[in-house]
């Protein structure tokens, strides 16, 4: 993988993800981005349910998302991500491409934070899982 991406995966647009306008509904992009992050987390051995049981939730604090080329039924989506830490935030740079022509469909920056027993915090456990992994 080039361009510093640390993880990528792909899947096919499902018809029910498209709305009246015949294109993937805006909210579905957030599902796509979340789905990618979670697959990445799985690869690093991070289990959100286990963390939740430990009192740690990794929650979305802020997202910026630009939609470029609309995705349609049948399109293959290629999803790539980078990750780095800024203070207590885990910043995911995530790009979704339409696989057929490699056009960028969605460009997002997603900031996640650890909430430990209900309070914003810094978790070494999460650091080790997310940042020191060599997939």
Supply 66's token pair: 């630009």
Secondary element (H or E) of residue 83: strand 76-86
Q: Which of 57, 47, 45, 41 is nearest to 92 (CA)?
A: 41
Cβ closer to a second copy: 70 or 133?
Answer: 70
Note whether 103 binds a second copy by CB under 8 A: no
Nearer to a second copy, 2 or 22 (CB): 22
Q: Is 108 within 8 Å of 94 (Cβ atoms)?
A: yes
Among 42, 100, 122, 128, binds a second copy (CB under 8 A): 42
Q: Is 95 among the catalytic positions?
A: no
Q: Applying CB under 8 A, does 65 fall inside the site for a second copy?
A: yes
Residue 28 φ/ψ, nearest 5 degrees: -65, -30
Binding site for a second copy (CB under 8 A): 14-16, 18-23, 25-31, 34-35, 38, 42, 48-49, 52, 57, 59-67, 70, 73-74
């Amino acid at each position: 993988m080039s361009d510093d991406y640390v993880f990528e995966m792909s899947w096919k647009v499902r018809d029910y993800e498209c709305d009246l306008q015949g294109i993937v509904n805006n909210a579905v992009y957030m599902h796509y981005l979340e789905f990618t992050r979670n697959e990445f987390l799985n690869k690093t051995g991070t289990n959100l349910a286990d963390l939740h049981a430990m009192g740690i939730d990794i929650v979305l604090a802020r997202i910026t998302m630009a939609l470029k080329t609309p995705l349609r039924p049948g399109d293959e989506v290629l999803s790539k991500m980078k990750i780095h830490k800024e203070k207590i935030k885990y910043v995911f740079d995530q790009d979704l491409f339409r696989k057929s022509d490699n056009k960028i469909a969605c460009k997002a920056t997603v900031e996640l934070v650890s909430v430990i027993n209900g309070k914003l915090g810094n978790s070494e456990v999460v650091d080790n899982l997310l940042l020191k992994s060599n997939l």
